[in-house]
Amino acid sequence: MLEEEWLYEAITETYIPLLKVFEGLKRDGIDFKITMSMTPPLVSMLRDPLLQERYDAHLTQLEELIELEAEHNVNNGHLRYLAEHYITEFKEARQLWERNQGDLVTAFKQFQDSNNLEIITCGATHGYLPLMKMYPEAVWAQIQVACEHYEQTFGQPPRGIWLPECAYYEGLDRMLADAGLRYFLTDGHGILYARPRPRFGTYAPIYTETGVAVFGRDHESSQQVWSSEVGYPGAAEYREFYKDLGWEAEYEYIKPYIMPNGQRKNTGIKYHKITGRGLGLSDKALYDPYWAREKAAEHAANFMYNREQQSEHLYGIMQRPPIIVSPYDAELFGHWWYEGPWFIDYLFRKSWYDQKTYQMTHLADYLRDQPTQQVCRPSQSSWGFKGFHEYWLNETNAWVYPHLHKAAERMIEISHLEPEDELQWRALNQAARELLLAQSSDWAFIMRTGTMVPYAVRRTRSHLMRFNKLYEDVKVGKVDSGWLEKVELMDNIFPEINYRVYRPL
């Protein structure tokens, strides 16, 4: 399945490489600090025994393919060199996977326990909160279910939340405070347009009137990594994402290693570098990990130097320690930007040994050390196109919202029911799961981007159809137990959910 392939790519190319970096830093006595959100769906997938078993088989298949590649390229020095690079990489991934018995969540948790990693939560299913604010119960469910799931996973309540798509609306902070959250992140303009205008812009958090702190994304450091024009990932020495063995090898040769239906896919084995702007894929030169590592070290040094200059400049103006918040999608590091984990590794090592101007910190630790901050009302905002809600509400996806709103109304209605038996209890809880899954902002996002649109439409419709059948069955008091069992197996997220979370606040 497509979504499983995305998960396997993320595990091999992002989460295992990040864990390798963290292990190396810890081993070498570097007291690193990094914050990472782990969404409830990601945690649930990483902990699912069936998906763990299937990932193990996926990794075995990759190991087999790269051994085959090494044999086939025995007389091609450079391709053989690259194949051996991937053999080592997959071997190390296998070792880390087996060392942790396939439980990467616990592997990350150990770094949280040592205060090197601050794991924050997100909305339960990444629902776009400003577009459901007319149903506060639905917003509350997204927040509360996420917080409960986090505590069940990590043994403590979350301190912070990455709002889905950084999307904030006025009044949301009240719910975050009621859920026990201490801070959230927003895009820069969410703070810059706050009322009153914050004295220190995005370089200090603000407190809302409910006592929750707000941190804003720093544009300068974000652009240095993100920007396709000036960002590091576009360097000629780095690996080219769009030339993959899965699409380039002869079909009969690669067929055992692609999708079961014969559809080609990315394997993660890529032999070429970006080479230069404006070149076609056929003009790309062969990749060399040695020189790519050198470039990652160079970029890490540049990023460190720029943060030193920025910090000194800001301190001179503010006369107090500024905070520079530089958030990125996790999958930038390793998946999209293959050298990203190397960059992080070098950045932490250089920051530890080569400078004394700034220190890495967790947002909660900064609040503890700098408890006095300005009180303001953040502006409605998101980190999407044009900075507000247009990307998730436009001509491509507006059709979904009347259905989502009706489902929210119905869920609030049946949240008042008291189940007559265990079957009805299960049906009510499953209805809550289906609504949460239907609300994922990913579906509207995919519809807007124009890629994989039938998949996003199918997911939205299937969750809504299941929800509506559950609603109708509960209302007439006749739940189809066989059908319910199948749906519970398919959509088994949040095993501890309680549908009463939708009762009016």
- Which residues fall in the annotated binding site for substrate? 217, 234, 383, 442
Q: How many CB atoms lie within 10 A of CB 271?
A: 22
The residue assigned the tokens 């949040």 is: 494
Question: One-letter amino acid identity for 486?
Answer: K
23 catalytically annotated: no
- Determine the Cα–Cα distance for residues 90 and 13; give it in Å rounded to an integer: 10
Residue numbering of the annotated binding site: 217, 234, 383, 442
Single out the catalytic residue among 64, 98, 329, 354.
329
- Determine the Cα–Cα distance for residues 496 and 26; give it in Å rounded to an integer: 34
Q: How many CB atoms lie within 10 A of CB 114?
A: 11
- Determine the Cα–Cα distance for residues 145 and 115; give it in Å rounded to an integer: 25
The residue assigned the tokens 């959230």 is: 184
Distance of CA 374 to the CA centre of its chain: 30
Give 184's DSSP letter.
E
Q: Is the bond preceding 157 in cis, omega lying within 30 degrees of 0?
A: no
Residue 420, burial from CB neighbour count under 10 angstroms (0-12, 13-18, 19+): exposed
Single out the catalytic residue among 165, 173, 339, 473.
165
- Phi then psi for 295, rounded to 5 degrees? -70, -40
User: Please, are residues 5 and 45 in contact by the beta-carbon 8 Å criterion?
Assistant: no
- Determine the Cα–Cα distance for residues 198 and 365; give it in Å rounded to an integer: 21
Which residues, 6+ apart, have CB-to-CB distance to 461 below 8 Å?
none
> What is the distance in angstroms between the CA of the first residue and the CA of the last residue of the chain?
39
Q: Are strands 206-207 and 213-216 parallel, antiparallel or unpaired?
A: antiparallel
The helix/strand/coil state of 118 is strand
354 catalytically annotated: no
- Determine the Cα–Cα distance for residues 182 and 161; give it in Å rounded to an integer: 8
Give 11's DSSP letter.
I
Q: How many CB atoms lie within 10 A of CB 298?
A: 15
User: Please, are residues 215 and 363 in contact by the beta-carbon 8 Å criterion?
Assistant: yes
Active site residues: 165, 329
